[in-house]
Structures are given as structure tokens and as C-alpha cells.
Structure 1
Amino acid sequence: MSKIADLDTQTQLELEAAAFRRLVQHLDERKDVQNIDLMNLAGFCRNCLSKWYKAAAEEKGIAIDYDAARERVYGMPYSEWKAQYQQPATTEQLTAFASKPEENK
């Protein structure tokens, strides 16, 4: 069994890219899981993932706007996803979100 530390850089990148694609696919399959649920439980959501994608592109000198990054993560324009799948946040969800430290929002 290989240790991660023993993998070459290209293999590490390929595995990380595959894991990212699988995460995006999993989130796409779980449209019932709202972003506020993800934020409350894990401290990140689809929008965070979009921002990280955009930041990673910028680190490589690639200009990608936030809407394009969101479309990559959501699999469609955000406005369409929001109209089709986003539910109004419940009082409980909003209360849990409000109780989080600012750096976790």
C-alpha cells in the first residue's frame, strides 16, 4: 500500500482533482441538502467551494469570475439552481447559523 507522502506530485494532483470532481458530483446528487445545512454542519457550502475554485484559478493566473466558478460547482447557473432547489431557511437553520463564529460563516 502506498503512503501519500510517497506519491509523486502529478499523482497527488490527479487524486485531489478526482476527489474534487467526486465531491461536486455528490453535492449535485444531494440537491436536497441546503447550503445553510452544509454551513451549519461543516462550515462550508457550495458557494465556498466556488470561491475556492476561483481563488485556485487566480493563483495560476487564470481569470475566472465567480459566476463561472459557481456554475462549475452547481452544474448550472446559480440563479437556475436557486430557483429550482433552494428552500427558504427555517428558523432553526438561521438560529444555528447566527450562533456560529464570524470566521465560520
Structure 2
Amino acid sequence: MMSVENDVLRLLADPLRAQIVSLLASEALCTCHLVEETGARQTNISNHLRALREAGLVDTEPCGRFTYYRLRPEALDDLAGQLTWLAEAARQAAANERKRPCP
């Protein structure tokens, strides 16, 4: 039985992290861009970016004295595959009217 990565879901459930991920889906951005777009404090953005980087959802790219962050689509593909598997298992269980008997 496949399970969904709870750590990644927990990360993406945070509204600010979800906003950061959405912004990074369109283009690589540095912390200053994310502060401007979200209105969050720089230290808060940096902490969220560190968590996303450690989870393998974003890559960094040094550019002079700035660091750009880029979303890793393959990491989201993995999560999407897990969620697709879960949806398909639920469809099959419903179609077969599968349920566990009570003791």
C-alpha cells in the first residue's frame, strides 16, 4: 500500500508556504521578491524557504549576492502521483463496494 508523504503535505498546508510555492511555479525569485509579493518579513520567508529546500521542493541558484529559488517540478510530480494513486484506490473501493466487516 502506498502512502502520501505527510511531511510534504504539512509543508504545503501552510498558507504562506503555499503562496511561495505558487509564486515560484511561475519564475525563479529571490527572498526580496517574495517579501515584496507576500508582505511577510524576510526572516519568515527565509525560514519557509529553508523548510521547502530541506524537503526537496525548491532548488537554490546563487546569483551575485542574491540567491534565487526555483520550484522543483519533479518533487511535485511525485506528490501528484501519490495523490492520483490514492484517488484511484478510493474509486476502486467504491466501485467494488469494498468495506471491512465489523468483528
Shorter-chain TM-score range: under 0.3
Q: Which TM-score applies when normalising by structure 1? A: 0.25
Q: Which has a greater percent of helix?
A: 1
Question: Higher strand fraction: Structure 1 or Structure 2?
Answer: 2
